[in-house]
Amino acid sequence: MRTSHRRVARAIVALLAASLAIMAAIGPVAAATPQKLTLVSTTIFNSNGWNYGAFSATGAAVDSGLICGSGSFVDTGIAFAGYQSGKAVQLTVDKTYTCPGDGTFFVKMQIHANFDGTEQFSWVVKGGTGAYESLHGSGQGTTVDNPPTGNINTFVGSVH
């Protein structure tokens, strides 16, 4: 019977040790508090499909130094779907944002574009390089035309 109690005690100790190890590993990730961000990017359409432009950002994420206040971007991927309906088109757009001297971060947009010219989108940060290697976040956005060269996207959400 004593051997049985020792085995149970060892099993409990092993489970507690494993639980502590898991908590130590995920604690820093769970501790990251999302910070509000508004990012406005002015897109210049390019005939080769690789649109580009400049952006400015505001909010707690900028105030705390989590993300830079301005920089440049380039579209790195565009996919169209759903245009057969004659009412709307779905676009997936990948963008690379560059913060001078800090690194880059990657954003994926899922855009719902109506043929009346209105657009809404959701977005997600997929990581980055340099200071933004572990950056994540998401939110919603809208687009307005900016003739004759392009449009203006406004991203609202949070990052961590």
Query: Strand 52-58 and strand 35-44: pairing?
Result: antiparallel
Mean of pLDDT values over 121-127: 96
Whether pLDDT at 125 is above 90 = yes
Same domain for 102 and 133: yes
Give start and end residues of each alpha helix (H) in 32-96.
Answer: 60-63
- Quick: pLDDT tens for 22-58: 545 444 444 479 999 999 999 999 887 789 999 999 9
Same domain for 76 and 64: yes
pLDDT band at 6 (very low <50, low <70, confident <90, very high): low
As a whole number of angstroms, the distance between CA 76 and CA 157 comes to 22
Q: Could you tell me which residues come within 8 angstroms of residue 99 by beta carbon, excluding any fewer than 6 positions away?
A: 67, 68, 71, 105, 131, 132
Same domain for 55 and 94: yes
Same domain for 153 and 119: yes
